[in-house]
Amino acid sequence: MGIVYLTGAGPGDIELLTLKAYQVVQEADVIVYDRLANPDILKEAKESCELIFVGKADSHHILAQDAINELLYQLALKYDKVVRLKGGDPLVFGRGGEEALYLKSKGIKFEFIPGITSAIAVPEYAGIPVTHRGVTTSFCVVTGHESPDKKESQIPWDNFKSNDTIIFLMGLNNLKKISKKLIEIGKAKDVPVAVISRGTTKEVKSVTGTLENIYEKAKDLPTPALIIVGEVVRLQKDLAWYKECYPQQ
């Protein structure tokens, strides 16, 4: 019986892969990978390594996740080293916990290998620190997948009244509703917002605006993209360092 490494692939730039992840990728007998994991990482696998893409799960998410859980289990029966490679960190909206629970229930050993999450690295490559002394004392990472007008929203919108930095993942499709909701709960219309698409890669696009106008400016950006809301966004004009990522207004 093998072991499954639930592994973070980092946010895009292959050089942000951890040494530990690099090592298990090189040793893997099979790699089960997502749409968000940089495919160049797979070139590091040994020739005999089986590569299985399980990326397109959007419309049948739950079924697909069950199928992935079962696939990992079956692969662990067949192979010594199974790598489950996910974009960013496996436990930040990565469903790594669900996969681990399933494997555990089947008596399969697993390890988590943390990855650099897009939530922090993507703003960082765009010159936006998620915290900054004197500007914000905390940041939170929120799913943008859930529509803010959903009645039984699980998101604690009222907590966002403070000056914290808010980072929405999976939120591009809900950008209009998210900005509207933040204004509704009392945030000023001119709170700065950045939307960063394909962060940490050469295809990066970073658009900045305010809660009031960001939707019009950013709605056509390609995915994956994240939304960062808060005063820290203003630092981008001084801190942009990654040349593909100078702000576009």
Residues at the contact surface with ligand SAH, assessed by CB under 6 A = 11-12, 36, 86-89, 92-94, 117-119, 122, 169-170, 196-200, 224-226
Min. distance of Cβ 125 from ligand SAH in angstroms?
9
1 as an active site residue: the answer is no
Q: Is the dihedral of CA 93, 99, 101, 104 positive or negative?
A: negative
Query: Residue 189 or 219: which CB sits closer to ligand SAH?
Result: 219
The DSSP symbol for 201 reads S
Query: Residue 9 or 24: which CB sits closer to ligand SAH?
Result: 9
Min. distance of Cβ 228 from ligand SAH in angstroms?
10
- C-alpha–C-alpha distance, residues 64 and 28, integer Å: 23
The DSSP symbol for 231 reads G
Structure-token pair, residue 184: 């509704």
Structure-token pair, residue 206: 């970073």
106, 170, 177, 180: the catalytic one is 170
170 as an active site residue: the answer is yes
- C-alpha–C-alpha distance, residues 114 and 249, integer Å: 34
Strands (E), 184-238: 192-197, 205-210, 225-229
The values of phi and psi at residue 209, to 5°, are -165, -150
The values of phi and psi at residue 49, to 5°, are -70, 130
Query: Residue 37 or 79: which CB sits closer to ligand SAH?
Result: 37
56, 78, 161, 189: the catalytic one is 56
Query: Residue 226 or 232: which CB sits closer to ligand SAH?
Result: 226
Min. distance of Cβ 170 from ligand SAH in angstroms?
4
> Residue number with the shortest CB distance to ligand SAH?
88
158 as an active site residue: the answer is no
Min. distance of Cβ 120 from ligand SAH in angstroms?
9
Q: Could you list the active site residues?
A: 34, 56, 170
